[in-house]
Structure 1
């Protein structure tokens, strides 16, 4: 995947996310008033409509020329550039490898691997006071961009329940001993059938997040937004982990300001895990955050040593979830990691949330 491919992938996701924020209203009267013929306008009344049509044609051309969106998570929670495989750090440069090219679906090569958004729980901060979700982009054998939504969702959920990806630290495997029996997708919801309920050994909130792990993963892989998810337990049990009932449907939080109930406070969305960047080109780190006063601290590490550091302000502070970016400039070839964290507002030294993302410049 070259830089042009990644740019197209980023544009595709950004457009989709922004589109989800649009709330249409009734502006017919206003449009008619603006485009109505007048004595001064003469026959030029049609020009605004022509201009609008031209803009629409351009937008449609860009939109439909981009690859299909495979991740339907609401705006602000999903980011481009999938990378790693389920068994090893991703090869260059970003995911999947190979990854979608910026062409129409008609010209997309058949059999091209699909990037699957998979969520994993991890304890947050020095005090590990809670468990929240991070997202990885993985590929699965036999799953391509031509695969149907059920195939993608089955593969993504199976990855979420399996071993954590190589090269990640701190991710928790909450579904040990439980198998994915089936997954069905209809126009009204997703049904996940599991072999059993899972162990009843975790705190209740961790068990809740474990269920949400599969909810976010299945919904994102299907790509149709907050589609209700129902669970069926093949052994006849009535509650996941013993505390989360199966006689109800599950979904993501209703608003961005509630995403902190499920998602880790800080994500790095680019570079992605194991990404190989081209030497001589400027590097920009991007991510999402739900932190106090929107303040995110960062360090650039090489060989474990800090080579650069600073802080950045996200576009929104807690409880909302904002985005942030740090331009690092041109880096020498080598292996790097970016550590992004929040310091406690109480003492200024305790790390209340953090994540580290390794990448290579070559």
Structure 2
């Protein structure tokens, strides 16, 4: 989202009309239809090749080629774009406000809801429970943000703890990925809702991060920090205390606003059960997303045989670019392992390169 060129996120021109945001997402989906291919298979093949040389469980993908088909995403994320080598690098910013004055962080109040339980700190164990951490996940042709609630080491502040985990941990769901490298140092300061995140340079040491993925990775950080702070930001990113060029494609050091959900977040999430969780009958499923007529299809498969044991659909609260929850219950599942898949049906008469099951999310779980 005449002859005058208007920046995508110029505050004097940026419309607030939700219809325009929906149009932006529609244009993004249209961009996905250019030269469709099985991007997920490429991702798995490249990841497998990289794993042999990485060590330590860190999975890496040469992202730049994979995200080229979804260049529109990079253009709308936080107003960040890539440039030719002869041009100055752009500032990674969604606003021109000056960097906020730093002050010690304070712990915000917590709230609870099915999709946002609120993090709490257990002083006895030194763990922050339910810290929101965002990851990058692929559809067949694009990349989007997904969130997991994680129990992470307490570093004295919920934002610091969540952001550090974002760089240092791996997603629970093997379908999600992480463009960041472990940051040796993470320092967070706040001035009201404004957040400054100062990272050591090693966090940006990954290779093959093009401008589109770099923009989305910064939104990954912005969404993680603001969710942990329970604020709207903005977030200023520094490298070793200074503005800097990151990944060779962007400049950071100015405040970055959250991009609209519809531009960067996945359309379908499974919140419960979590990946690898053991549950009892009846199995309560909670999800989150936006879909045509708020309709999500689902199926449960036996993890061993891949046989479909239950299937159906559910109407949620999120329709036409508005996100909301959906819930349903699985009854009478025999003890054992299962795969739950929630997806959206293709409304384009088979023209979508995403295939008949669009924007799926899957979770493996066990019934005891």
Q: Deviations over 1:267-308 (max 9, x none)?
A: 111112222223xx4222111112233221111122232111
The correspondence for 2:196, drawn from 191, 194, 203, is 191
Aligned length in residues = 252
1:320 aligns with 2:322: yes
Per-residue CA shift, 1:40-86, capped at 9, x if unaligned?
xxxxxxxxxxxxxxxxxxxxxxxxxxxx95479xx89x43499xxxx
Match of 1:79 among 116, 122, 129: 116
Q: Residue 269 and residue 202 in structure 1: after superposition, are their counterparts in 2 closer, same or farther (change >3 A)?
A: same
The aligned counterpart of 2:150 is 138
Counterpart in the other structure of 1:356: 362
Structure 1 residue runs of 5 or longer lacking an equivalent are 1-67, 83-99
How high is the TM-score relative to the length of structure 2? 0.60
Deviation (angstroms), 1:178: 5.3
> Are the structure 2 counterparts of residues 192 and 242 from structure 1 closer, same or farther at C-alpha, using a change threshold of 3 Å?
same
> Would you say 1:222 and 2:237 are equivalent positions?
no
Distance in 1 (CA, whole Å) between partners of 2:216 and 2:111 is 20
Tell me: CA distance 1:198–1:317, structure 2 relative to 1, closer, same or farther (3 Å): farther
| Correspondence for 2:75 | none
Aligned to 1:265, which of 245, 248, 267? Answer: 267
Determine if the alignment matches structure 1 residue 274 to structure 2 residue 287.
no
Q: Distance in 2 between the 1:177 and 1:284 partners?
A: 34
The aligned counterpart of 1:169 is 174
Shift in CA distance, 81/227, structure 1 to aligned 2, threshold 3 Å: closer
RMSD: 3.1
The one of 212, 216, 219 aligned to 1:212:
219
Matching residue of 1:252: 258
The whole-number CA distance in structure 2 between the counterparts of 1:301 and 1:287 is 18
1:238 aligns with 2:244: yes
2:312 to 301, 310, 313: 310
Structure possessing the higher radius of gyration over alpha carbons:
1
How does 1:22-171 map onto structure 2 within 5 Å?
70=110, 78-80=115-117, 110-111=124-125, 113-115=127-129, 116-124=131-139, 126=140, 129-141=141-153, 143=154, 148=156, 150=157, 152-166=158-172, 168-171=173-176
User: Aligned partners of 1:117 and 1:309: how far apart in 2?
Assistant: 30
Shift of 1:313: 2.0
On the 8 A contact 1:177/1:198 being kept in 2, the answer is no
Provide the TM-score with structure 1 as the length reference. 0.61
Supply the distance in 2 between the matched residues of 1:331 and 1:177 (Cα, whole angstroms): 40
- Corresponding position of 2:285: 285
